[in-house]
Amino acid sequence: MKKLFTLGLVLLATMVLAVACAGADGGSDFSAGMVTDQSGVNDQSFNQSSWDGLLRLRDSIGATIGYLESATPADKEPNMDRFLDMDKDIIWVIGFLGAEPVTHQALINPSQTYGIIDYYFGDNILPNVVAVDFMDNEATFMAGYLAARHSNTGVVGFMGGMEFPVIHRFEVGFVAGVAYANHVHGLDVEVLVQYIGDFDSTTIARGISMSMHAQGADVLYAAAGAAGQGAIDFAVENDIYVIGVDLEQSHLAPNNMIISTLKHVGEAIYDVSLRLSQGENVGGQNLVYGIAQGAVGITPFEGSTAALVDPAVHADALAIGSRIARGNLEVPVNHDQLGVFINSLQ
């Protein structure tokens, strides 16, 4: 079953409960573990954001937390087994590549609660699994719109990590946002799209960036975990523009990063873990967070964005986000819907 939660109200309430709980006994016997994907916990992207959520849980209720890094997808199940031996109340697995390991482990360990980020099981979800997914396409639509408005060459580039529905969602939203800007403002901006093949090959990302730049791209966006650093480094070295992903990343390219798309993974992990610690059964749920829930978006008009972006353009992008949140603008999720959306603009 699919449930939508308004993060702002839920998190406000749970923050109050967390403070009250910590104040009452000074700590908690709740324990959570996190298994990263290949990018590692310091990817300055969604693994890091996930860990920040558990750090917040530790600080608010005194929970015991830990993480294990997965250098390859094959490391996920052994890491999950290690946390199982530690009697963790919930074992979080980060990234859609964890769907099969989570399913396998949840079937053989029915009393253990598992959480997964960036996956939607639908009706096939197991009763001891909570799946958290995000409408990344809504944030990347705003970024694509802004990239098109900001480009001086009429060419922008998108690179994804691996070709899976989650990353396709990033791509589709970005391409749709560019198409929308073209339609509304009479532009003719082209989007170059290419996939890296993994989430840690910065050298490949740099090579793709070089190729895209040679074709005229002056704005790059990589939804590729740690590999995206290759695109950021290339943008800095060649003085073109770049868009950050998942976290506010302007410190990585203060003179070149026009915006970052935000994905508040840590907030969702904190929210779900806290509710479990308070006795709520969170298993068997597919949770979906988007702009309306305050879970995705773009960075505010400050820092490098304020230095590089026309304030009117940023305001227009925020207005588009508000339309999406209200349901007045529907952003495509997959390539089939993207085609329909682009045709509707003709």
What pLDDT does residue 26 have? 42
pLDDT value at position 40?
80
Quote the pLDDT of residue 42: 84
The Cα 137–Cα 119 span in angstroms is 14
Mean pLDDT of 148-156: 98
pLDDT over 60 at 25, yes or no: no
pLDDT at 38: 80
Which stretch of 14-18, 146-150, 214-218, 248-252 has the lowest confidence by average pLDDT? 14-18
Does residue 190 have a pLDDT over 90?
Answer: yes
CA-based nearest residue to 243, from 143, 120, 141: 143
Is pLDDT at 6 greater than 50 in this prediction?
A: no
Task: Write the secondary structure of 161-200 as one string of H (helix), E (strand) and C (coil).
Answer: CCCCHHHHHHHHHHHHHHHHHHHHHCCCCEEEEEECCCCC
**Average pLDDT value for residue range 212-238:** 96
Statement: residue 18 has pLDDT above 70: no
Say what the pLDDT of residue 160 is. Answer: 97
Amino acid at 193: V
For residue 9, is pLDDT > 60? no
- In this model, does residue 259 exceed pLDDT 70? yes
What are the pLDDT digits (tens) for 41-56?
887 777 888 999 999 9
pLDDT tens for 158-173 read 999 999 999 999 999 9
**Using CA atoms, how far apart are residues 162 and 78, in angstroms rounded to an integer?**
23
The pLDDT value recorded for residue 27 is: 59
Share of the chain above pLDDT 70, in %: 92
With a cut of 80, say whether residue 212 has pLDDT above it. Answer: yes
Q: 11-20, 79-88, 92-101, 117-126: which has the minimum mean pLDDT?
A: 11-20
Tell me, letter by letter, the H, E, C secondary structure of 210-236: HHHHHCCCCEEEEECHHHHHHHHHHHH
Q: How confident is the model over 280-312, as pLDDT tens digits?
A: 999 999 999 999 989 999 999 999 999 999 999
Q: Which two tokens stand for residue 146?
A: 């802004």
Amino acid at 341: F
Q: What is the mean pLDDT of residues 79-102?
A: 96
Over pLDDT 90: what percentage of the chain? 84
Residue 100 near residue 116 (C-beta atoms within 8 A): no
Report whether 98 contacts 76 (CB < 8 A): yes
Residues 29 and 63: beta-carbon distance below 8 Å = no
* Of 28, 32, 98, 4, residue with least CA distance to 266: 32
pLDDT at 21 over 70: no
Task: Quote the pLDDT of residue 15.
Answer: 32
* Residue 155 burial by Cβ neighbours in a 10 Å radius (0-12, 13-18, 19+): middle
Q: Helices marked H in the chain — which ranges?
A: 7-25, 46-61, 76-85, 99-108, 136-150, 165-185, 202-214, 228-238, 265-277, 303-308, 311-326, 335-344
Residue 117 has pLDDT above 70, yes or no: yes
Contact assessment for residue 134 and residue 292, using Cβ atoms and an 8 Å cutoff: no
What is the pTM assigned to this prediction?
Answer: 0.85
Cα–Cα dist 97/100, whole Å: 7
Is the pLDDT reported for residue 109 higher than 50?
Answer: yes
The mean of the pLDDT values for the chain is: 91
C-alpha 272/C-alpha 179 separation (Å) is 36
Q: Answer whether residue 8 shows pLDDT above 60.
A: no
- Residue 267 pLDDT more than 50? yes
In a 3-state reduction of DSSP, which class is residue 65? strand
Average pLDDT over residues 72-98: 95
